[in-house]
Amino acid sequence: MTYETLNVTRDERGVVTLELNRPDKRNAMTATMIAELNDFAKVIHSDERIRAVILSGRGDMFCAGGDLSWMMAQIEADRPKRMQEARMLAEMLRAMNELPVPLIAKIHGAAFGGGVGLTCICDVAIASENTRFGFTETKLGIIPATIGPYVIARIGEGAARQVFMSARVFQADEAARLGLIKIACPGPELDATVEAEVAPYLGVAPGAVGRTKNLIRMLSGKIDDATIEASIRALADAWDTDEAREGISAFLEKRKPQWADKE
């Protein structure tokens, strides 16, 4: 598998490492990355030799969320185009969430916005203890819409209310308490901790693993077509607001938005 924004390798055990590969842009998601992640998911669905996938980010951080120039393009677009882009994002998240193999996140540096969404579609997330997290969308005048179903499924409404709306940046120990990640470990131990998480899957029946993962989703019953469609509309609506235009413009212009405390 060769991609523009992803680096994919597979070892002799059938363990795939999927690395977000835009380090100069803090691995922010673009339309190209979204499409390539969706394609990656389709490939994994059709390859029975794969036992597990490790999702990581190249460079200084895991993922900064959505690329701001991509989001600005949605603000300038018409409603059908906004819906199309929001749907691409939602379909990618769903496809990755429904991988028939274990998906394990190896997180370092920071995960913001959509980067936390990627964390929540993983079966297990391990982070270095100095990693920062934040749902930064409201700071930009938008909302964490398409990632919302996966975040709520991971941490529940009560925990989401603590961090979903404020754009507050929090540390890995709080992320572990909230249930976003399984554990925060010292940076030098991150690789070994992730490998310890992968190891048990190499001794169990891969087909049974995939069927069990599907059973979990079926029994939870939380993320259905209607929920995903509502999240798509909500994101397209958010991009249509004056707040979104002002928030993203302010960020790109390196100034505070009109609603921010000026002190």
Extract the runs of DSSP E, i.e. beta strands, from the chain. 6-10, 15-20, 52-57, 103-107, 110-112, 124-128, 132-134, 170-171, 183-185
Specify whether the CB–CB gap between 67 and 209 falls below 8 A: no
The one-letter code for the residue type at 194 is V
Question: Is 263 a residue whose pLDDT tops 70?
Answer: no
pLDDT for residue 222: 77
CA gap 172, 181 in Å, rounded: 8
pLDDT for residue 261: 79
Percent of the chain exceeding pLDDT 90 equals 91
| Confidence at 1, pLDDT banded by 50, 70, 90 | confident
Mean pLDDT of 220-239: 92
Q: What are the pLDDT digits (tens) for 71-110?
A: 889 989 999 999 999 999 999 999 999 999 999 999 999 9
Mean pLDDT of 116-123: 98
| Length in residues, the chain | 263
Question: Is 262 a residue whose pLDDT tops 70?
Answer: no
Q: Model-level pTM?
A: 0.95
Mean pLDDT of 150-164: 96
Quick one: tokens of 97? 């969430």
| Confidence at 260, pLDDT banded by 50, 70, 90 | confident
Q: What are the pLDDT digits (tens) for 12-29?
A: 999 999 999 999 999 999
Q: What are the pLDDT digits (tens) for 31-73?
A: 999 999 999 999 999 898 999 999 999 999 999 999 988 988 9
